[in-house]
């Protein structure tokens, strides 16, 4: 399973490219880059701190819950997410493969320091490492490589699965969206769940139109 921002939408988390996805008229692509962070670390951190505060106030929805309980019944199930919101973990999903990192992780721009820090708001922006350098969010920005281990595990799951579900993603961001091609090329049956059409809707075996929180519980009930 590959999930995107659409599975968190019913928790009240704005998607990236849907209505409400903008922050102070900035697009995610403008702020989620190393260049934007180098230019104005405080602005980028104000955006992340704002998202963290939003996320601290929301709960997993029925889509997250259905996935967490399905995993307990389907031992071979692998959950790969592009989301950095931590809601799959909060719903009880174990061993979530996070190909774009985690907004609750902070890491140093200079030394090897990395830690989970769920304080909202953070006491100072940008947060500082004990070594004196600036800490950054533990997420993958545009132009950055995906975490090697997570990406290797995600690819391995895509090429070895019998059924590949892709839920709540516009399938515009690569290389994550390429997992769909890998699964299809390896012979998996591909099922898409989305409110709207995506570039893959005509290519998958089944494309279900509707809300993840409404469709997943029945789809995964089998
Ligand atoms: C890489 C973490 C190379 C941060 C994210 C120019 C320069 C450099 C790179 C590129 C370039 N041009 C293209 C690229 C590649 C680029 C890319 O793909 N760009 C896109 C925009 C074209 N990719 C990268 O840069 C990647 N890295 O290529 O590095 C490299 C290689 C080796 C060595 C060095 C470098 C890195 C991409 C990762 C970027 N980080 N997030 C953060 O979150 O702050 S991406 C961001 O988009 C999120 O992770 C998000 O998950 C992801 C995808 O978005 P979606 O999840 O799909 O969300 P979206 O709003 O788009 O869609 C929601 C969907 O849900 C919609 O379809 C909607 O209809 C549906 N929906 C809504 N409600 C519901 C629903 N469905 C069901 N139920 C509902 N209720
Ligand atoms: Zn440091």
Residue 19: pLDDT band (50, 70, 90) is confident
The number of the ligand nearest the C-alpha atom of 106 reads: 2
205/136 Cα distance (integer angstroms): 40
- Whether 166 has a pLDDT exceeding 90, the answer reads yes
Quote the pLDDT of residue 21.
73
Q: What's the pLDDT tens digit per position in 167-180?
A: 999 999 999 999 99
Distance 210 CA to ligand 1 centre (A): 21
The residues assigned a catalytic role are 100
The number of the ligand nearest the C-alpha atom of 129 reads: 2
- The candidate with the shortest Cα–Cα distance to 77, out of 147, 176, 164, is 164
The number of the ligand nearest the C-alpha atom of 167 reads: 1
Q: What's the pLDDT tens digit per position in 28-75?
A: 889 999 999 999 999 999 999 999 999 999 999 999 999 999 998 998
What mean pLDDT is predicted for residues 95-103? 98
Q: φ, ψ for residue 46 (rounded to 5)?
A: -65, -35
Question: Which regions of the chain does DSSP assign to beta strands (E)?
Answer: 2-3, 80-81, 97-98, 101-108, 114-116, 135-139, 163-167, 189-194, 206-209
Measured from CB, residues less than 6 Å from any atom of ligand 1 are 4-6, 9-10, 15-18, 21, 29, 32, 82-84, 100, 139-145, 168-170, 172-174, 193-196, 198, 211-212
Distance 153 CA to ligand 2 centre (A): 28
What mean pLDDT is predicted for residues 84-97? 98
**Atom in ligand 1 nearest the alpha carbon of residue 81:** 51
Quote the pLDDT of residue 34.
97
Q: What's the pLDDT tens digit per position in 121-158?
A: 999 999 999 999 999 999 999 999 999 999 999 999 99
Which residue, judged by its Cα, is nearest atom 10 of ligand 1?
143
Residue 25: pLDDT band (50, 70, 90) is confident
**Atom in ligand 1 nearest the alpha carbon of residue 196:** 69
What mean pLDDT is predicted for residues 71-87? 96
What mean pLDDT is predicted for residues 18-26? 76
Distance 140 CA to ligand 1 centre (A): 10
Quote the pLDDT of residue 24.
76
What mean pLDDT is predicted for residues 110-118? 97
Quote the pLDDT of residue 16.
83
**For 125, which DSSP code?**
S
Is 200:192 a contact under the CB 8 Å cutoff? yes
- pTM of this prediction? 0.96
Q: Is the previous residue joined to 126 through a cis bond, with omega within 30 degrees of 0?
A: yes
Distance 174 CA to ligand 1 centre (A): 7
Query: Mutate which of 142, 193, 218 to test ligand 1's pocket (most atoms within 8 Å of Cβ)?
Result: 142
11/90 Cα distance (integer angstroms): 12
**Mean of the per-residue pLDDT values for the chain?**
96
**Atom in ligand 1 nearest the alpha carbon of residue 29:** 21
Structure tokens at 118: 């769920």
- Whether 20 has a pLDDT exceeding 90, the answer reads no
């Amino acid at each position: 399973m590959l999930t995107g921002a659409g599975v968190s939408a019913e928790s009240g988390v704005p998607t990236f490219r849907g209505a409400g996805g903008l922050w102070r008229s900035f697009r995610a692509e403008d702020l989620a880059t190393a260049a934007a962070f180098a230019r104005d670390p405080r602005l980028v951190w104000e955006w992340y701190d704002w998202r963290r505060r939003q996320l601290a106030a929301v709960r997993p929805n029925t889509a997250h819950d259905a996935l967490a309980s399905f995993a307990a019944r389907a031992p071979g199930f692998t959950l790969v997410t592009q989301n950095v919101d931590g809601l799959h973990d909060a719903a009880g999903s174990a061993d979530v493969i996070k190909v774009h990192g985690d907004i609750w992780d902070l890491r140093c721009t200079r030394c090897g320091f990395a830690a989970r820090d769920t304080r909202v708001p953070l006491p100072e922006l940008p947060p500082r490492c004990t070594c004196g350098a600036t800490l950054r969010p533990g997420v993958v920005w545009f132009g950055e490589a995906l975490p090697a281990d997570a990406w290797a595990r995600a690819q391995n799951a895509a090429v070895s699965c019998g059924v590949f579900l892709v839920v709540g993603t516009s399938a515009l961001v690569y290389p994550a969206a390429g997992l769909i091609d890998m699964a299809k090329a390896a012979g998996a049956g591909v099922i898409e769940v989305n409110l709207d059409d995506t570039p893959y809707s005509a290519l998958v075996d089944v494309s279900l139109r509707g809300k993840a929180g409404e469709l997943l519980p029945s789809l995964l009930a089998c």
